[in-house]
Structure 1
Amino acid sequence: MKTLVTNVRLTVLALTLLGSLAACKKHDPDPVKNNDPIFVGKHWKMSAITTNPIIDFDGDGTADPDLLPFFPTCVTDNIVTFKEGGKIESEEGEACPDETPITGTGTWSYNENTKIFTLTDGTAAGTQNYEIVEMSATTLKWKVEIEEEGQSLDMIMEWKAQ
């Protein structure tokens, strides 16, 4: 009988502890109430630029898997924010030598069916379409086909949430 009482007490204690833990559990925030993609409202910084096929970007005879190191910090430290309603804000980090710091605006749109992400600076020449290849809360990856020295290749840009 003593064993049965002990087991019941342990069971009740275990259920009480589980109930307490469940009551203290942090609740996830309310789901997004609009239809904006997951990348909206976050600050993004470029983390990699790759090509497929991989190219020898610096001409040293060795293929370069990531082109980002070839760009100066004053280009790679910029932050882009995709705002609700299709607006873009960008902030330049370190200014490039002999240039005035740029804080720009533009627009974005995203077609979920085709995975096409369109960026524009307000001019026809300033519009570019990208195919989204990965999108999460922390990573945004898109690609665009480019022509380099008569060769067609995909350039993939990876962004990390800041």
Structure 2
Amino acid sequence: MNENKTYTVDEAKRRLERYCAYQERCHKEVQQKLYEMRMIPLAIDQIIDHLLRHNFLNETRFAQAFARGKFRTKKWGRNRIVNELKMRQISKFNIKIALKEIPDSEYYKTFEALAEKRMQQLSSEKNLQKKRKKLADYLFYRGWESELVYEKIRELK
């Protein structure tokens, strides 16, 4: 993007429509993009209002897509998903709706598969304490709940 290029409100609207149509965006990303385009606050509000009214920007839809995507592709647990959504200033209400996108049965199945895969990778580690710590660190980093992680670690003999 050319640093010195200026945009009319209509040009910026069209550009942001494409930006939002390409993939779901949250308000924070859109504001950041408009800020980088050096739009004035009044224009930013006007453009965001336009995007909302024409359904290019929808925080609930963004949160749902984000939760589904990060769970399915990156195998993140609920804690990590919630924290990442909070960082994007998504409301508690929308976070709650987003978490409903992950069926419990699939959630626990994914956790088991992820833990098993990691234990296979750690099979050369002979020190049980180190093995438990490495497994726990791995699962916590991905945002899985402590009850699940500690239960899994107790299974390690």
Instruction: Give the TM-score taking structure 2 as reference length.
Output: 0.24
The structure that has the greater radius of gyration is 1
Q: Which has the higher helix share?
A: 2
Q: Which has the higher strand share?
A: 1
